[in-house]
A = this chain, B = another copy of it.
Amino acid sequence: MATDCRTCPLRKWPIFDPLTEAEISFMETFKSGELAITGGATLMMEGSNSPQLFTVLEGMGLRYKTLPTGERQVINFVFPGDFLGLQAGVMSEMQHSVEATTPMRLCVFDRKSLWSLFEGHPDRAFDLTWIAAVEEHLLGESLAIIGRMSGLERIARAFVRLYERGTAQGLVKDNEMPLPYKQHDLADALGLSLVHTNKMLTRLRELGFASWQGGRLKVLDYAALCELAQLESDRAQVTRPLI
Contact = CB atoms under 8 A, between A and B. Distances in A.
Interface of A: 1-2, 65, 67-69, 71, 73, 75, 86-87, 90-93, 95-96, 112, 115-116, 118-119, 122-123, 125-126, 128-130, 132-137, 139-144, 146-148, 188, 190-191, 230, 238-243
A91 B143 contact: no
B122 A118 contact: yes
Contact of A243 (B69, B115, B147): B115
Given A73-B144, A75-B143, A126-B115, A238 B91 contact: yes
A139 B143 CA distance: 8
A36 B136 CA distance: 27
A95 B140 CA distance: 8
Contacts of A67: 144, 148, 230
A118 B142 CA distance: 29
Contact of A133 (B87, B141, B146, B242): B87
A113 to B, nearest CB: 9
B65 A140 contact: yes
Contact of A86 (B90, B96, B133): B133
B239 A147 contact: no
A219 to B, nearest CB: 20
Nearest 3 interchain pairs by C-beta? A147-B191, A132-B132, A73-B144
A90 B129 contact: yes
A126 B118 contact: yes
